Structure 1
Amino acid sequence: MIKSELRQIILEQLESRLRIAQSATQRAIDAATDEETVPEHKYDTLALEASYLAHGQAMRVQECEEDIQCYRHLVLRDSEKVTVSSYVVVIDEHDQYKHFFMGPRVGGLSVVWNHHDVVIVTANAPFGQALMGKSVGDEVEFMVAEKQFYYEVISVE
């Protein structure tokens, strides 16, 4: 297994997100500076709202850029225990296999790699906290919204 291929797929997804965020930012800037949004009276806040939206979108662009840099500089380590950059396969109580990548950011992002849906999990998430430090054969249990989840670690790469 070559985790650098997985990282490249993640980077492509993040770059796509960045392009969408940049486009949304430009549209919001255009809306904020359009002649039709010039306030006609003191209660006309369309331009102000558009400028808030443009600011929020610009912050989103910055976050996307930081995500990309983080993954570009991520050191891919091999370890027998789950750590950041581990590719982990678990099995649940219904004998369903699930594939995860322990990432430093963008938890919840899902990509397809080697014909599997791979979900990024961070150490900040309850599942990520429960996975950290586990080895093949270890059981993982955690709770979210008063619901208990159980997995067994099948592989760590």
Structure 2
Amino acid sequence: MKKVVVIEALKLALEGKLYEARAAADSARQDAIHEQSAAETQYDSLSIESGYLAEGQSERVEQAISAINAFNETYSLNTAEHVVEGALVQVSDEETTASNWYYIGPAEGGLKIEIGSIHVMILTLASPLGQAIAGKSLGDEVEFNFNNRIQYLCIENIL
């Protein structure tokens, strides 16, 4: 796994989210000001609802821009010695021998990208799993309580 490929894929995914948010905001704004949205009676609230939707979609655009800026400030191509923000981490589950890749990011936790047959998920240090593996080193074992079930994880790789 090459970290530079993951970072480029993450940038594309974040830019895609921004594009979608802008398109939704533009559409909501057009709906809010369209002549058919004008209230015909005192009980007609279509234009008000459209305005609220446009405002919410504009907030999504701002959040997407903030996430992109946060990633641009924190990503690093250097290999990390510990699990820190900007690290690409491979974690294995000792019971199922499953292995998962996580990019430790500043925002957008849960966003998934696929590189070939490998799935990488953004994990923030504020998440429960992020808190459990924060600061760990290569080969460290982690005890993680997931749905009242203890899982034993191992840090397999840190890039």
| TM-score scaled by length of structure 1 | 0.92
SS in structure 1 at match of 2:102 = strand
Name the structure 2 match of 1:10.
10
Summarize the Cα distance change of 1:33–1:118 in structure 2 as closer, same or farther, 3 Å threshold.
same
Q: Distance in 2 between matches of 1:72 and 1:113?
A: 20
Q: Which residue of 1 aligns with 2:88?
A: 87
Whether the 8 Å CA contact 1:101–1:118 is kept in 2: the answer is: yes
Q: Distance in 2 between matches of 1:58 and 1:128?
A: 29
Aligned residue in 1 for 2:45: 45
Task: Could you tell me which runs of 5 or more consecutive residues in structure 1 were left unpaired when the two chains were aligned.
Answer: none
Q: Is the 8 A contact 2:144 2:153 kept in 1?
A: no
Give the total of aligned pairs. 157
- What per-residue deviation string (whole Å, max 9, x for no partner) do you get for residues 63-118 of structure 1? 11111112222241432211111111111120011111111111111112364111
Gap runs ≥5 in structure 2:
none
Cα distance change of structure 1 residues 145 and 45 upon mapping to structure 2, 3 Å threshold: farther
Q: Is the 8 A contact 1:89 1:98 kept in 2?
A: yes
* Residue 153 of structure 1: how far off its partner (Å): 1.0
Task: Work out whether residues 81 and 137 of structure 2, in 8 Å CA contact, stay in contact via their aligned partners in 1.
Answer: yes
2:72 is aligned to 72
CA distance in 2, matches of 1:5, 1:94: 27
Q: CA RMSD in A?
A: 1.6
Q: Percent identity?
A: 32
1:61 Cα deviation from its structure 2 partner: 0.3
